[in-house]
Structure 1
């Protein structure tokens, strides 16, 4: 028995009047059984997938949904996907005669895991990639996920006898190299540098030993900085002072997490980032207003009596009391700035961060899930950049730091 094992991507089941990868493999190979491995995100389109598969003329496959559902937070993790998909494929391979894998649907990490399993499993496995109808990138072509499935099926140009078969079997060494290279570039495009290193570690990128070593070195240095919060190499070699380098590095890591849609990390970090900015600003412009004990900032009540008096009054109006024995945090910093510079751009930015502080605490301390419609996480990286400009005269080039890095990595593999 031939069994197709496939995850589900945004291009499934039909996109731009043509088969998505899953539907096209089923149409071309006609396996007796199709095992669909869903992520939480793709479950909602299951009925559409089944209807599309059943629309193939004179074809009646057994369609099975695997009992394991991949979490949305895991679909971007190569190691996790390799572990999960290996178990699934091995289980079906014990009872099925021949396994077919879909190498085109879903995230680059899932595709990379499928590809790796195919190359090293030693099982009776065949794998297929599906070219786009135009044999070019899908970039810019809208998804059809919200359209009526019956209309999509009726307008599907592949749903005929003389359709153009776009299957490419993973069996040639050159294709293997090209697929590794494509997967590497997809991971780089998604800023998944660790996944990119894992892909090239055991595979051929058609590079000389020297070039591959240099690529490894560049990626390893970048990954180490991201994992440990060490200064990124370009930041460490900049002419900024220690505090400016620290906060610039913090901004870059927050911007990277925002690009990767690691929204919980962004939400948790942004408050600390804003506090660091305010402390730098006050140290420079109101020297002595903040004093530190055991590394924590406190309000200096000596020499700033007028600020303290106005702060007590402001807090009392809001039903709160000023406790000078407590170390300072962002909400209190906002009140201090409101007193000394009520019309400053700094205050407006702090208020933006404080606007998500309650939700941030629920996420950080109560493990609350993020509702993207309510959290305003997407705006926080931009807010961090504006905060950074207040204390650090940084060039605009730093905003595109990771895009520029990606460009270098692409050039290193000849893209």
Structure 2
């Protein structure tokens, strides 16, 4: 089913003894339904223009397409010259028509209305292009209609006969337009907005949906690998190329993901991840600085009970103060590393940063393990999480001092590359 949606501005059913735009579309597309829109002022007419209510619109349309049904709507529009006046109006009409006719395809007449009406329909098309075509109609002589005489309702029967005879000699003046420049501008703006929010998956989805008219192949190619690496936690090739230390590569990569989610305000996700990164970094710090403190069995870290008698004694005292029992077979994690640093270097810069991470441990466990909601306002939780993220970055820099600060701007540099490609 085909439905013509046609606003009628200060135009006549015909001009220069030939079809006007709306009638030309009806003649050549034979829509099942023609839905005409008039403002009250155009319907009632003015000193310059005859009242459109005096034309027999159903007769005019059926004269060129006898099976086309006709509906029209007259609306009082207070600010007819305001481009925003028609936005919701036209959208609601089209939504209602789609609801009534779910399988229909729409022909949007972007020639017969006022400039405000035509622009609104163009924007409707580029925003909701599914099952729609924009139809532009050239004038009979492919020039302006200025200074031509207006049609008169009293002469409509004679005029229709003349028009039908004239139009039969010529090809259709209808042209289906994609309004590519409008749509490309919209796509570019959407892409810019999405990359500002680091939503690369959404950019790919958007560009894939617009392949027919917008060549975003370079951007897609740039982002496909990045999104795959993010989803699979494969360290970015640029990082692998820059650094040989695999532990450094992982720490930097995962902090970039953490920082990206932090900037996107995925605070609960950040809360869950920040402790894991801190744990990884501290394991590397302790194993490198205090050799033989940590032993590995099947890749899992355990405390070496033969490391240092005084250290083991101090550690048992720390556990006892927390009502914990020493268990040499317990796999080490962040709380243990925190206690180790508290014993080995209580006044160190590393201890200072670990305190910030340790403050969020209980909040993190409630969200991650008890599936509780995160209340950012309670007990300065948001501030604590922000401090923990900053602390983890400082910890990474202490453990891996060769990381270049510019590499922390990986996603911002990626965004700049995309902007250039746009």
Please, what TM-score do these two structures have when normalized by structure 1?
A: 0.60
Is residue 2:326 matched to residue 1:322? Answer: yes
Alignment of 1:14-413 (within 5 A): 27-29=85-87, 31=89, 93-95=98-100, 118-122=128-132, 172-203=179-210, 212-374=216-378, 375-376=381-382, 377-393=385-401, 394-413=403-422
Partners of 1:194 and 1:343 in 2: CA distance: 44
Partners of 1:92 and 1:368 in 2: CA distance: 45
Partners of 2:248 and 2:395 in 1: CA distance: 12
Partners of 1:379 and 1:356 in 2: CA distance: 10
Q: Secondary structure at the match of 2:202?
A: helix
Shift in Å, 1:91? 8.0
Gaps of 5+ in 2: 1-34, 37-81, 109-123, 135-176
Q: Secondary structure at the match of 1:297?
A: strand
CA contact (8 A) 1:93 1:123 kept: no
Partners of 1:33 and 1:277 in 2: CA distance: 54
Partners of 2:332 and 2:256 in 1: CA distance: 25
Q: Secondary structure at the match of 1:237?
A: helix
CA change 1:286–1:188 in 2 (3 A) is same
CA contact (8 A) 2:126 2:183 kept: no
Shift in Å, 1:184? 1.1
Deviation per CA, 1:192-242: give whole Å up to 9, x if none: 1111112222326987x6xx4332221111111111000112112112311
Q: Secondary structure at the match of 2:277?
A: helix
Deviation per CA, 1:24-81: give whole Å up to 9, x if none: 976455639979xxxxxxxxxxxxxxxxxxxxxxxxxxxxxxxxxxxxxxxxxxxxxx
Partners of 2:257 and 2:91 in 1: CA distance: 45
Shift in Å, 1:407? 0.6
Shift in Å, 1:255? 1.0
CA change 1:302–1:380 in 2 (3 A) is same
CA contact (8 A) 2:311 2:343 kept: yes
Q: Secondary structure at the match of 1:288?
A: coil
CA change 1:199–1:234 in 2 (3 A) is same
CA change 1:342–1:116 in 2 (3 A) is farther
CA contact (8 A) 1:180 1:205 kept: no
Partners of 2:268 and 2:182 in 1: CA distance: 38
Deviation per CA, 1:130-155: give whole Å up to 9, x if none: xxxxxxxxxxxxxxxxxxxxxxxxxx
Deviation per CA, 1:356-400: give whole Å up to 9, x if none: 111111111222222222433333332221111011121110221
Partners of 1:115 and 1:327 in 2: CA distance: 60
Count of residue pairs the alignment pairs up:
280
Which one has the largest radius of gyration?
Answer: 2
CA change 1:91–1:292 in 2 (3 A) is farther
Q: Secondary structure at the match of 1:323?
A: coil
Shift in Å, 1:117? 6.6
CA contact (8 A) 1:291 1:299 kept: yes
Partners of 1:30 and 1:220 in 2: CA distance: 37
| Residue in structure 2 matched with residue 61 of structure 1 by the alignment | none
Gaps of 5+ in 1: 3-23, 36-88, 101-113, 125-169
RMSD: 3.4
